[in-house]
Amino acid sequence: MSALRPGLVPADDAAARSFAGIMAILAFLAALAAAAAVSLSATAADWGAALAQEVTLQVLPRTGRDLEQDVARAAALARATSGVASATVLSRRETDSLLEPWFGQGLDIGDLPAPRLVVVRLGAARSADLTGLREKLVTELPFARLDDHSGWIASLVGSARVLVWGAFALVVLVMGAALLATTFATRGALAANRRTVEVLHWVGADDRFIARAFAFRFARLGLAGSAVGGLAAACVAAAIIPAIRATDAGLRDGGSLTGVSLVGWTGLASIAVVVVALALASGLASHSSVSRLLRDSRRT
Amino acid sequence: MNAVVVGEPVVAFDGVGMRFGRGPEILRDVSFAIEPRSFQFLTGPSGAGKTTLLRLVLAALRPTRGHIRLFGQGASRISGGALTDVRRRTGIVFQDFRLLDHLSVYQNVALPLVVRGRDEAGYRAEVIELLQWVGLGGQLDRLPPILSGGEKQRVAIARALIARPELILADEPTGNVDPHLAERLLHLFIELNRLGTSVVIATHDLALMDQVEARRLILSDGLLFVDEGAS
């Protein structure tokens, strides 16, 4: 290809800026949605993995029984179960600290009949005999309850998946909008450059050559616009991470409950994919549109 | 490049008539042939239909009656690919130049080679040499809007010639240049003709035509008369 090719279709600065601006906005929306989709998808997978790694024993206080002994017995039963790596009894203070967000600090929680907790970590093989543990608890400590978190984690994972599909749907819609925007912009450019197209035909250019010239121009404009939009999306994602983490800090120590990390490598890769995909879509839509219009113009 | 079949005219008109809409016939029963390696002038008063006839030769218009054959193909059945082939075998100099204002002089002249997919390294020297020959060697990077009419005309001629077409159609190619340059350009067309290119120069410049003994296709009142001249 000659170096002349990029400039064959004259640049209409105002129209080109408008098109690049539209592509920047579309890329911004699609890039954020794609990054969120990738991140949420990874988070949902993490939650699924967490489901298989940890369960909790709740031991309720009963009148006439020694709660500390019951808790120790529950922990011992857990440790004796095959596939269990460890069973850690949360102290009274640790249990109280979990309740503080709901009851505040002014109340003496020690007077409440709060359950005590045993955190049970499962082995790497993930083949713990939880059914056997449940049966033992029913026999020896019927007021203890085994919570494998499956209910609420499954609900969270389900919600996350809905959000992931929603984000992908948004990306698809934005791509569709980009195709339509390119088609309209190409029609305008073709009409504005009718004389150029005519001269190209006179000097021996075929329709494919002309379509490629338009496609090249719109792919470049699309790439320029979507790169700006993608960069803006990456900056916004980077800016909102600390806010999300700060919000989550109160819910779980040491990190984000949602696990949202929009600017990880996968997030950045998804933004890059969106930018390149929009540029390619612009070029292809322009090529298709010009080919069709030139073919139709010969029929009339 | 496709060769013209021996004995087959480059262009053949047979009883061609042309009218626009319901208006009067611009061309009536026009029959003639342009043979390979031939040289002819197309002349007649303004409005006689010279440009219309050239557009028919380029298959830019379809005749309302009659038959046209271009390089051995029926013009009415020419498809997209065949039409491109006809245009690649034809160099055209428009009366209004039709230069692309956003491309430089060099880029305009190189355009026929670019659309053929030629590599710039292979044609750069050729383009510069031709531009030097037409006196524009020092203006390679200038844009058409700042050129004079004569300079634009020379760029248009160079663009038509650069791909060494089999047929050259030139619509008033010397209309905007001084007599000395007009003579030089005419000799360029004659030289191309000697190298095997068929040439049709549409003009009403009698002084120009008198410089060459060549066939004259004379359009008058929609009819075409052929003066074979002495060639």
Which residue of chain B has the CA closest to A295? Answer: B80
Q: Which residue did the predictor score with more confidence, B121 or B185?
A: B121
- CA nearest to A74, candidates A120, A129, A126, A123: A120
Supply the DSSP symbol for B18.
Answer: E
Shortest alpha-carbon distance between residue A44 and chain B (Å): 52
Window B:179-198, CB contacts with A under 8 Å = none
Termini Cα distance of chain A = 32
d(CA A17, CA B224): 53
> Mean per-residue pLDDT for A221-245?
83
* A196 and B100 Cβ atoms separated by less than 8 Å: yes
Please check whether residue B80 lies inside any domain of the structure: no
B202-217: average pLDDT: 88
pLDDT at residue B128 greater than cutoff 80: yes
Contact: A204, B58; criterion CB under 8 Å? no
Least Cα separation, residue B24 to chain A (angstroms): 23
User: With an 8 Å Cβ cutoff, is B19 touching chain A?
Assistant: no
Say if B196 falls within a structural domain.
no
Write down the pTM of the prediction: 0.72
pLDDT category, A253, cuts 50, 70, 90? very low
Which chain A positions have a beta carbon within 8 Å of B100's beta carbon?
Answer: 10, 196, 199
Whether A261 has a pLDDT exceeding 60, the answer reads no
Q: Does B156 map to a domain? A: yes
pLDDT for position B141: 94
Residue B13 counted as domain residue: no
Separation in Å, CA of B169 to nearest CA in chain A: 12
| Rounded average pLDDT over B177-186 | 83
Task: Let me know if residue B25 belongs to a domain.
Answer: no
Residue B3 in this model has a pLDDT that exceeds 50: no
Strongest mean pLDDT among A33-37, A196-200, B7-11: A196-200
Contacts of A222 (CB under 8 A, 6+ apart): A19, A20, A23, A178, A182, A278, A279, A280, A281, A282, A283
Q: What is the average pLDDT value for chain B, to the nearest integer?
A: 89
Mean pLDDT for A184-202 is 90
pLDDT of residue A35: 85
Residues of B in contact with A198 (CB under 8 A): 98
Evaluate if residue B45 carries a pLDDT over 50: yes
Residue range of the domain that includes B106: 90-164
- For the stretch A30-84, pLDDT in tens is 999 988 888 778 777 777 776 668 888 888 888 888 888 888 988 998 888 888 8
Question: Quick check: B127 pLDDT over 50?
Answer: yes
Per-residue pLDDT band for B34 (boundaries 50, 70, 90) equals very high
Question: pLDDT tens digits, residue range B154-178?
Answer: 999 999 999 999 999 999 888 777 8
* B81 confidence band (pLDDT: 50, 70, 90): confident
The predicted pLDDT at position A4 comes to 45
Structurally, chain B folds into a number of domains equal to 1
Q: Residue written as tokens 């410049």? A: B205
- Confidence bin at A241 (pLDDT 50/70/90): low
* Chain B interface, best mutation among A4, A9, A203, A206, by max B CB count within 10 A: A203
Listed range (A3-7, A18-22, B212-216) with the worst mean pLDDT: A3-7
DSSP state letters, A166-185: HHHHHHHHHHHHHHHHHHHH
Chain B residues with CB-CB distance to A200 below 8 A: 111, 115
Pairing assessment for the beta strands A54-59 and B223-227 based on DSSP bridges:
unpaired
Judged by CB atoms closer than 8 Å, whether chains meet at B98 and A205 is answered as no
Contacts of B149 (CB under 8 A, 6+ apart): B176
Strand locations in chain A, DSSP E? Answer: 54-59, 84-89, 116-122, 144-147
DSSP output for B132-159: HHTT-TT-TT--GGGS-HHHHHHHHHHH
pLDDT at A272: 92
What's the whole-number mean pLDDT along residues A251-280?
A: 70
Identify the band that residue A283 occupies on the pLDDT scale cut at 50, 70 and 90. Answer: very high
Which residue reads 């390679």 in tokens? B140
Is the pLDDT at B75 greater than 90? The verdict is no
Contact B92 A10 (CB under 8 A): no
Look-up: residue for tokens 């990054």? A35
pLDDT digit string, tens, across residues B95-115:
888 999 999 999 999 999 999
Nearest-CA distance from A179 to chain B in Å?
27
Q: Is residue B74 part of a domain?
A: no
Does B141 touch chain A if contact means CB atoms closer than 8 Å? no
- Cβ B189 vs Cβ B201: under 8 Å: yes
pLDDT at B143 over 50: yes
Residue B130 pLDDT > 90, yes or no?
Answer: yes
Lowest mean pLDDT among A74-88, A118-132, B184-198: A118-132
Number of H helices and E strands in chain A, helices first, is: 8, 4
Q: Is it the case that residue B140 has pLDDT exceeding 70?
A: yes
What percent of chain A clears pLDDT 70, i.e. is strictly above it?
85
Helix and strand numbers, DSSP H then E, in chain B: 7, 10
Q: Is the pLDDT of residue A2 over 70?
A: no
Alpha-carbon distance B214 to A279, whole Å? Answer: 56
Residue B211 belongs to a domain: no
B150 within some domain: yes
Rounded (5°) CA angle A173-A179-A180:
90
Contacting residues of B for A189, CB less than 8 Å apart: none
Is there a contact between B107 and A7 if contact means CB atoms under 8 Å apart?
Answer: yes
CB of A296 within 8 Å of any CB in chain B? Answer: no
Which tens digits make up the pLDDT trace of A148-159?
A: 877 777 787 788
